[in-house]
Amino acid sequence: MVDDDVDDHEIFMAALENISSDVDLKTAENGLKALQLLRQKAVTPELIFLDINMPLMNGFQFLSELKKQDGLKDIPVIMYSTTSAPEAIEQAKQTGAIDFISKPENFSELELVLQRILYK
């Protein structure tokens, strides 16, 4: 999970734990950090949750970089944000995200969304 908001790390973690006991969530607070970890193979994720607004390197910049890297470009990425602005959704798809979710404020809704994604 690439997100500068540690609270969201916690919320996502809690939601994921409720869905499955077999989830290992690693976090990075911006795109730059995440790229470093990925290149050093410090993490080898099956799925990346990517926030849009972050300092140093935002979600779109990170995704563009990722797509240039052999060995990394095929990791599925799901972008999310509080916004549901159509242009953000469109840009996410064009940059290569497989899905876009707007962060539901409702916790059980978040669980449902994550469940749908994980068991697709």
Partner 1 sequence: MPDEISLNEEQKEIDHGNSRFQKLVEQAPIGICIINAITLVAEILNERFVQVAGKPYKTILGSYYWDTFAEAAPYYETALQDVVDKGVKFTADEVELMLIRDGKPDYINVTFVYDPIKGEDGTTQKVAIWVVENTERVRAQKKIEDNEHALRNIILQAPVAMCIFRGAEFIIEIANEKMFEFWGRGSDDIIGKPVFEALPEAKNQGYEELLSNVFITGDSFTANELPVVLPRNGKRENVFVNFSYEPIREVDNSISGIIAVAIDVTKQVTNRHNIESEVAERTRELAEVNQRLQQNNKELQQFAYIASHDLQEPVRKVFTYTQMLEKNLVAVDERSATYIKKIAAASHKMLALIRDVLSFSQLSREREQFKQVNLADIVENIKNDFELLIEEKQAVIQSKNLPVLAAIPLQMNQLFGNLVSNALKFSKKDTAPVIEITGKTLSKEALSKYKDLNQSLEYYLIQVSDYGIGFNQENADIIFDIFQRLNSTVEYEGTGIGLAICKKIAINHNGNLTARSGLNNGATFNIFLPKSR
Residues found near partner 1 in the complex (CB under 8 A): 5, 7, 11, 14, 18, 82-83, 86, 103, 105-108, 110
CB of 9 to partner 1, least distance (A): 12
Identify any residues that bridge with 100 across adjacent strands, giving them in sequence order: 79
Residue 65: name the closest of 2, 117, 5 by CA.
2
Residues 86-114: b if buried by 16+ CB within 10 A, e if exposed: eebbebbeebebebbbebbeeeeebbebb
Cβ proximity to partner 1: between 5 and 99 the closer is 5
Cβ proximity to partner 1: between 78 and 103 the closer is 103
Cβ proximity to partner 1: between 8 and 99 the closer is 8
CB of 73 to partner 1, least distance (A): 31
